[in-house]
Amino acid sequence: MKILRMRSWNFHADDLDKMTRFYQDGLGAQIRATNTVAGVKVIRLQAGETGLGLFDASEKRAPRVPHHTFDIEGPSDPKELVKELEAKGLKVDDMRLHGEGPGYSLYVIDPGGNRLELFKD
């Protein structure tokens, strides 16, 4: 496996409007999309080459958030990457297919407790 780039930074926003204005008006990020994940509204922004996911935490917090996503180059079978990571002493916390596949995401937790998504297109 090889990390190619930071794909996105995803975190909770207790005040979604205020956070959106901060990143959009203050820092120049562009809104790419708005959607809902696990019943939580998400504003997707683009900041340079990195995406930002602002998850509305005013009513509830989304599962798997916060997390940071890396695009990776790796095996087409996620089970092979699980074996590779576990051989290095890393524990895979979760796995999901992108739709019906072939893309997938694996989630690992770093020693500081940060959730990382390894995203294979």
Q: Where residue 39 falls among pLDDT bands split at 50, 70, 90? A: very high
Length of the chain: 121
At residue 83, what are phi and psi to the nearest 5 degrees? -60, -45
70-113 confidence digits (pLDDT tens): 999 999 999 999 999 999 999 999 999 998 878 999 999 998 78
36: confidence class by pLDDT, cuts 50, 70, 90: very high
Q: What is the pLDDT of residue 111?
A: 84
pTM above 0.85, yes or no: no
Question: How far apart are the C-alpha atoms of 47 and 52, rounded to whole Å?
Answer: 7
Average of pLDDT values for 20-35?
A: 96
Integer Cα distance of 48 and 53 in angstroms = 14
Domains of the chain: 2-120 (3.10.180.10)
